[in-house]
Chains A and B, each alone.
Chain A
């Protein structure tokens, strides 16, 4: 089951990468890719007693793409993937999607973002899943069994899926800039009034701060944002396909606009929670790496028969004879019967 986890993840990422390239968040686009890849075949060929465990694994793998730190489009793709997998699964009665309590806020924020951006299909699908009771409300997304023995490869999140860094924009918000300019004006006034009373006003040791700090700061952040956008459009122009319709472009523009407005707006708390989790991840990987023993790897030995066969260097006729049936019983059979057996053997 661990080996198939890697492959399931690779398949999901292939699907989401193609979805990302279409630069759309429509369900029809997703369904097209799904049909093209014949993704519902992923459930075929599972042994009866492993069906439920496999469905659980597949839903769990898809679930992580629905949460931050992935970009909005990937999260929408993750939601569509969950919806499709839930309805095409073969376990009966269906296996549910485990929704952890700590992820509830993120899901609600996602829903509100989608409503604001009027992505009705995403909202409808999310509400439909809630309506069909596809979620199990759990403490944690997976079953935890204190498995420190298995050296799990910390899955590296795919770079292209992660939301573009917008920390500078969110730190330096308009409210903060206003406050900073107020404080710097106050400081300048106080300094001027103090200096006017002193004997040596022209002393350069009094120039401790940068002049025009606020305007410089906002200029730098704007430059960074423009550079990011340019870089992204440049990358997209390299990878884009020939027939990107105007409608899709405008869709993306309004998507970016909604995210940009949020970035420059109030909400630093989204990033705070995300950042908190990132820090947590880093520190705990170090801690758990220290905890973990040397990985327990299972060495599969070849069967004794195979090892014997490989060890013995048989040549030519001897090898052929050793591979076939013995012919000692032919000593006790009649000539005619033994000739028949030999003929059958040769044919």
Chain B
């Protein structure tokens, strides 16, 4: 009798906690690291249930209407309202006389705020070292400038209000030695109604452009054999479900090996679904948690969904521009060993003409050095088509 009572109390306590896997309210699993899994569609519905339609519409309300409504709701007279408006006006925040034109690019002299003191110190240090601007900073906001502030499209091309926007970071393949998990290779913005196949098509990986095979005897035939066309299978892995790409007849289910291995080794059961049938609003994901994208059978990328939110009027509202690229990592390109001007396209080994083994050449230098005027192969060498990492710069 006494044993049963504590159990009953424990069950009661458990049932009191609301299971938030079913509600769409994201909570931290580990603070500032990632959230618990939540359903994207439910998240959207939760927000839309809490907001009034004018809160998330893209049109700007009329200010006078807003003030009139506010005064009516709070029961304020016209005088009180005018007083309130002037008391809360932004003009009271101005820190310099009205006619003084200040440049916002200079740090003011005699700064009192700690941020400014540190910024000034950093600027002085930077100017004394004469650090050159690097290419990452130079192009940092290039993509952003193209899209932010575009006038909203009208008509069918416009994103409907209340749509969900996801920010997705895609990282370099696991075989890269640098920047494996720190710098994203690219950042994409997707809408909730996009399918996973659209994300897959938007991901640019150079392994898709690689050509397998030795082409020293037939250098002109090479471009017909791009890997992307040969090996079309790919999958995404989100929260225990493998989403396979089955659009083309050549596509195979490459996740089946993992699923069967897991079954045989007492792992939790994984399930499978089709990439082309799943939209982002149907997914149940964790924000900030790494997931997997695998293509070409062995090229694996980590994918992290960094943010999920409702569309705002300052976002790009043209449906045709999505998936939208907002950040791209710029890799150093390998140049030809001969001219140092063009990007390398051929990779040779066992080459008697080359200064090193292996060696990189651009197309022109390669042909001039290794083939005579009729196109016959000269000397001994192996030649492979080379795709540079910076091909997408």
A interface list, Cβ under 8 A from B: 3-4, 7-8, 10-11, 26-28, 31, 34-35, 37-49, 52, 84, 87-88, 90, 92-94, 96, 98, 100-102, 104, 115, 120-121, 123-125, 127-128, 130-133, 136-140, 142-149, 152, 280-281, 284-285, 287-288, 291
Known A40-B95, A104-B50; further 7 A-B contacts with Cβ < 8 A: A44-B108, A92-B149, A137-B309, A138-B309, A145-B169, A146-B34, A147-B32
A4-B115, A45-B107, A52-B144 given as contacts; is B137 within 8 A of A137 (CB)?
A: no
CB of B307 closer than 8 Å to a CB of A: yes
CB closest residue in chain B, given A142: B32
In Å, the complex CA distance between A39 and B74 comes to 32
Partner of B31, one of A7, A10, A123, A281: A281
Most interface-central of A41, A48, A92, A145 (chain B CB within 10 A): A145
A3-B118, A280-B28 given as contacts; is B304 within 8 A of A39 (CB)?
A: no
A124-B88, A136-B310 given as contacts; is B104 within 8 A of A90 (CB)?
A: yes
State which residues 125-140 of B face A: CB under 8 Å.
137-138, 140
Partner of B93, one of A4, A40, A144: A40
Partner of A288, one of B30, B92, B116: B30
Q: Which residues of B contact A138 (CB under 8 A)?
A: 307-310
Q: Which residues of A contact B288 (CB under 8 A)?
A: 140, 144-146
CB of B345 closer than 8 Å to a CB of A: no
Partner of A287, one of B26, B30, B120: B30
CB of B141 closer than 8 Å to a CB of A: yes
CB of B319 closer than 8 Å to a CB of A: no
Q: Which residues of A contact B46 (CB under 8 A)?
A: 101
Q: Are B148 and A93 in contact, with the CB atoms below 8 A?
A: yes
Q: Which residues of A contact B63 (CB under 8 A)?
A: 131
CB of B111 closer than 8 Å to a CB of A: yes
CB closest residue in chain A, given B60: A133
In Å, the complex CA distance between A48 and B123 comes to 14
In Å, the complex CA distance between A308 and B70 comes to 70
21 contacts between A and B (CB under 8 A): A4-B118, A7-B118, A26-B87, A28-B92, A31-B92, A34-B95, A42-B113, A44-B116, A45-B104, A45-B116, A46-B119, A100-B26, A133-B313, A136-B310, A139-B26, A139-B35, A142-B32, A144-B306, A145-B169, A146-B34, A284-B28
Q: Are A41 and B287 in contact, with the CB atoms below 8 A?
A: no
CB of B219 closer than 8 Å to a CB of A: no
Q: Are A8 and B87 in contact, with the CB atoms below 8 A?
A: no
Q: Mark B303-326, 1 if CB is under 8 A from A, else 0.
A: 010111110111000000000000
In Å, the complex CA distance between A144 and B26 comes to 12
CB of B152 closer than 8 Å to a CB of A: no
Q: Are A93 and B149 in contact, with the CB atoms below 8 A?
A: yes
Q: Which residues of A contact B314 (CB under 8 A)?
A: 93-94, 96
Partner of A284, one of B30, B66, B107, B117: B30
Q: Are B309 and A102 in contact, with the CB atoms below 8 A?
A: no
Q: Which residues of A contact B140 (CB under 8 A)?
A: 49
Partner of A39, one of B113, B141, B149: B113
Partner of A11, one of B32, B113, B307, B309: B113
Q: Mark B1-32, 1 if CB is under 8 A from A, else 0.
A: 00000000000000000000000111111111
CB of B378 closer than 8 Å to a CB of A: no
Would you give the shortest CB distance from A210 to chain B, in whole angstroms? Answer: 24
CB of B178 closer than 8 Å to a CB of A: no
Would you give the shortest CB distance from B36 to chain A, in whole angstroms? Answer: 11
CB of B84 closer than 8 Å to a CB of A: yes
Q: Are B310 and A34 in contact, with the CB atoms below 8 A?
A: no
Q: Which residues of A contact B106 (CB under 8 A)?
A: 44-45
CB of B368 closer than 8 Å to a CB of A: no
Partner of A147, one of B33, B66, B95: B33
Q: Are A139 and B307 in contact, with the CB atoms below 8 A?
A: yes
Partner of A125, one of B88, B118, B306, B309: B88
In Å, the complex CA distance between A104 and B106 comes to 38
Most interface-central of A4, A46, A101, A123 (chain B CB within 10 A): A101
Q: Which residues of A contact B112 (CB under 8 A)?
A: 37-38
CB of B387 closer than 8 Å to a CB of A: no
In Å, the complex CA distance between A131 and B85 comes to 14
CB of B265 closer than 8 Å to a CB of A: no
CB of B41 closer than 8 Å to a CB of A: no
Q: Are B113 and A37 in contact, with the CB atoms below 8 A?
A: yes
Would you give the shortest CB distance from B138 to chain A, in whole angstroms? Answer: 8
Q: Are B105 and A140 in contact, with the CB atoms below 8 A?
A: no
Q: Which residues of A contact B80 (CB under 8 A)?
A: 120
Would you give the shortest CB distance from A121 to chain B, in whole angstroms? Answer: 5
CB of B154 closer than 8 Å to a CB of A: no
Would you give the shortest CB distance from A278 to chain B, in whole angstroms? Answer: 12
Q: Are B88 and A121 in contact, with the CB atoms below 8 A?
A: yes
Would you give the shortest CB distance from B292 to chain A, in whole angstroms? Answer: 13
Q: Are A123 and B87 in contact, with the CB atoms below 8 A?
A: no
In Å, the complex CA distance between A100 and B43 comes to 11
Q: Which residues of A contact B25 (CB under 8 A)?
A: 101-102
CB closest residue in chain B, given A134: B312
CB of B51 closer than 8 Å to a CB of A: yes
Q: Are B115 and A8 in contact, with the CB atoms below 8 A?
A: yes
Q: Are A288 and B43 in contact, with the CB atoms below 8 A?
A: no
CB of B76 closer than 8 Å to a CB of A: yes
Q: Which residues of A contact B308 (CB under 8 A)?
A: 138-139
CB closest residue in chain A, given B61: A131
A7-B114, A44-B108 given as contacts; is B60 within 8 A of A101 (CB)?
A: no
Would you give the shortest CB distance from A275 to chain B, in whole angstroms? Answer: 13
A34-B93, A139-B307 given as contacts; is B108 within 8 A of A41 (CB)?
A: yes
CB of B56 closer than 8 Å to a CB of A: yes
In Å, the complex CA distance between A92 and B148 comes to 9
Q: Are A146 and B313 in contact, with the CB atoms below 8 A?
A: no
A11-B115, A96-B312 given as contacts; is B104 within 8 A of A123 (CB)?
A: no
CB of B270 closer than 8 Å to a CB of A: no
Q: Which residues of A contact B191 (CB under 8 A)?
A: none
Most interface-central of A34, A44, A127, A139 (chain B CB within 10 A): A139
Partner of A28, one of B38, B87, B90, B94: B87
In Å, the complex CA distance between A161 and B10 comes to 36
